[in-house]
Every structure is written in structure tokens, then in C-alpha cells.
């Protein structure tokens, strides 16, 4: 057990626990508590990305998810000002039955992956050697601006569309001019 | 150089994706459904990064960059929809949002 294993286990368990706290009703009933649990998951995943030598992506994970997305979530939760009766109540619906079936199916899939599918990936020496610059700004930025130039520009257009779309959807319709 | 095998990261990614799927399918609160979607996207991102590390190819990280931008756009529009739904129905309960119009 090297230090990398210890760090991996801590981060993996914490990220799964945070995700479960978002999804399971006793913890995620209050959306603000769910947002805090989601923040734990995002932060732990950033640590796992560092373990995978993806340093730029890890920084972006903190900036975009733990920063911008979480601020959006908490802002909307406080802005909606949900009453207590909006958060209470738990019914067994058809969707919940479907969700449980999906959980069982995914567990079976994980088991199948464990047994057969991952046989080529469980050997550390099978992974390709990397240079020191792997995952840095230089290599990722170069592939973004050469191979992935068209998707990169399309992403900027998508963000513009998202800004305009969010403003139009969320505007106040009874407010007159705007 | 790398002590933890890639398969462990893949199992963790599948686990996060499954948890997010259950959240999307079972929760009624639109905000929690959006958070579960984020968990699913993060699981996929982790899988892409694990494969990129396995092959020693940084192009997968560019793909993760684009996935993050799409996720941010999705959250912005989704939360705007949540605000519109709250103004219209008085709650963000998805079971009450049964009408397309009116």
C-alpha cells in the first residue's frame, strides 16, 4: 500500500459518499444540503484527476464545478425560497421502481466489468508511460486548438446560446417591458 | 509512476454514473435531478481521463474540457427552467409539472 493507494481510497470513498448523500432522500431532501454534498464529490473528483496526471482538468474542475456551478445551485436554491412542505413527502412511484431496477442492473454490470471486462486494465505496467508535460496547459491547449478546433469554437457558440436561452427562459413575463 | 490500476478508476466512474442515474430516475425535486445529472457527467469525465492516462494520450483531456463546457451550459439552462417552473407552478416538484402549456 503506497501513498497513492491511500489517497485514492480516501478520495473515492468520499466522492461516492457525497454522491449518495445527494441522491438518497434522507440527506438530499434539503436542496442546500444536497448542494454541499455535491461540492464534496466535485472536490474529491478533482483530487482523483490529479492522481490521473490531468492537472489542468483538475484546476478546471475546481473552477467550473466547485466554483461556478455550485454558486449557481446555491443561488437558485436560496432564490426559490422553498417552503417546508415543498421538501417533505416521499411517495413510491413507478419512476422509483424503475430507478431501483436501474440500480440492480448497473450493479450487475459493475460485477460483469469486474470479472471480465477489466482484465486488460488492471495491470499497471500496461499503461503507457507519460512525459512530465502530460496534462499540462501546453499539451491540452495544443490539441484543443489543432485537432479539436471546430468543437472548441462550437463550445463557445453553445455557451453564448446557453446564456441567451437562460435569460429568455427565466425572465419575468408579468413584468412588462423586460 | 502509476500505482493505482486504471480499472479501479473505471469502477469508481461506473459507480458514480449509476448513483446519478438512480437520482435522476427517482427524485422529484428538479434541483436534485440536475445535481444527479452533474454526478453522471462527472463519472463519464473520470472514465475519459482514466482511458486518456491509460493510453498516454492527452487528447482525451481536451474532450473532458468540452464536456465540462456542455455541463455548465446545461446547468445554466436547467436552473433557468427551474426558476420558470417555480414561477409557474409554485414548486419545483416534477410530478406537478404535467402540462405542456397553460
Establish if B102 belongs to a structural domain.
Answer: no
d(CA A103, CA B22): 6
Q: A77 Cβ partners below 8 Å, 6+ apart?
A: A31, A32, A35, B31
Number of domains observed in the structure of chain B: 1
Contacts for A156-164: CB closer than 8 Å, 24+ residues apart: A158/B69, A158/B70, A158/B73, A159/B69, A159/B72, A159/B73, A161/B73, A162/B72, A162/B73, A162/B74, A162/B76, A162/B77, A163/B76
Task: Give yes or no for residue B85 having a pLDDT over 60.
Answer: yes
Report helix, strand or coil for A147.
coil
Confidence of residue B59 (pLDDT cuts 50, 70, 90): confident
Which residues does chain A have within 8 Å of residue B3's beta carbon, measured at their own beta carbons? Answer: 2, 4-5, 124
Contact status, residue B42 vs residue B70, Cβ threshold 8 Å: no
List the pLDDT tens digit at each of the 178 positions of chain A: 688 889 999 999 999 999 999 888 776 578 888 899 999 999 999 999 999 888 899 999 999 998 889 999 998 888 887 766 555 555 667 777 887 787 788 778 777 777 666 666 667 676 777 777 787 888 888 888 998 999 999 999 999 999 999 999 888 766 544 4
Q: Quick check: A72 and B79 CB within 8 A?
A: yes
What's the pLDDT at A12? Answer: 94
Minimum distance, in Å, between the CA of residue B43 and any CA atom of chain A: 9
| Whether CATH 1.20.120.1200 fits A1-100 | yes
List the CATH number of the domain containing B35.
1.10.287.3510
Task: Give yes or no for residue B28 having a pLDDT over 90.
Answer: no
Q: Containing domain of residue B30, as a range? A: 6-91
Alpha helices in chain A (DSSP H): 3-23, 25-28, 31-51, 55-60, 70-80, 84-87, 94-112, 137-145, 149-170
Residues 15-74 of B with CB under 8 A from A: 15-23, 25-29, 31-32, 34-36, 38-39, 42, 45-46, 49-50, 52-59, 61-66, 68-74
Distances (CA, A) of A110 to A106, B18, B20, B40: 6, 9, 15, 15
Domain assignments of chain A as residue spans, ordered by start: 1-100, 132-178
* Partner-chain residue, chosen from B10, B18, B69, that has the shortest CB–CB distance to A121: B10
What's the pLDDT at B43? Answer: 94
Cell 430516475: give the residue. Answer: B25
Minimum distance, in Å, between the CA of residue A177 and any CA atom of chain B: 17
Percentage of chain B exceeding pLDDT 70: 96
What's the pLDDT at A105? Answer: 83
Contact status, residue B53 vs residue B3, Cβ threshold 8 Å: no
For B65, name the nearest residue in chain A, comparing CA atoms only: A57
What's the pLDDT at A175? Answer: 54
What's the pLDDT at A178? Answer: 44
Comparison of pLDDT for A126 and B3, the residue scoring more = B3
Establish if B49 belongs to a structural domain.
Answer: yes
Amino acid at each position: 500500500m503506497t501513498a497513492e493507494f491511500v489517497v485514492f481510497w480516501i478520495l473515492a470513498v468520499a466522492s461516492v459518499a457525497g454522491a449518495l448523500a445527494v441522491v438518497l432522500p434522507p440527506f438530499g431532501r434539503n436542496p442546500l444540503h444536497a448542494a454541499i454534498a455535491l461540492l464534496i464529490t466535485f472536490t474529491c473528483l478533482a483530487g482523483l484527476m490529479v492522481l490521473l496526471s490531468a492537472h489542468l482538468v483538475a484546476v478546471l474542475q475546481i473552477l467550473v464545478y466547485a466554483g461556478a456551478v455550485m454558486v449557481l445551485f446555491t443561488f437558485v436554491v436560496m432564490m426559490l425560497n422553498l417552503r417546508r412542505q415543498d421538501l417533505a413527502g416521499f411517495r413510491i412511484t413507478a419512476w422509483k421502481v424503475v430507478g431501483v431496477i436501474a440500480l440492480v442492473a448497473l450493479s450487475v454490470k459493475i460485477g460483469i466489468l469486474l470479472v471480465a471486462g477489466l482484465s486488460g486494465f488492471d495491470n499497471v505496467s500496461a499503461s503507457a508511460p507519460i512525459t512530465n508535460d502530460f496534462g499540462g496547459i501546453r499539451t491540452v491547449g495544443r490539441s484543443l486548438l489543432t485537432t479539436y478546433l471546430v468543437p472548441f469554437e462550437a463550445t463557445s457558440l453553445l455557451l453564448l446560446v446557453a446564456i441567451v436561452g437562460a435569460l429568455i427562459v427565466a425572465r419575468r413575463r408579468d413584468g412588462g417591458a423586460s | 509512476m502509476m500505482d493505482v490500476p486504471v480499472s479501479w478508476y473505471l469502477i469508481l466512474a461506473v459507480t458514480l454514473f449509476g448513483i446519478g442515474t438512480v437520482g435522476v430516475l427517482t427524485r422529484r425535486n428538479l434541483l436534485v435531478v440536475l445535481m444527479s445529472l452533474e454526478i453522471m457527467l462527472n463519472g463519464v469525465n473520470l472514465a475519459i481521463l482514466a482511458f486518456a492516462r491509460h493510453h498516454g494520450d492527452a487528447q482525451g483531456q481536451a474532450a473532458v474540457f468540452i464536456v465540462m463546457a456542455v455541463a455548465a451550459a446545461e446547468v445554466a439552462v436547467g436552473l433557468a427552467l427551474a426558476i420558470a417552473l417555480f414561477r409557474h407552478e409554485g414548486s419545483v416538484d416534477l410530478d406537478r409539472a404535467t402540462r405542456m402549456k397553460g
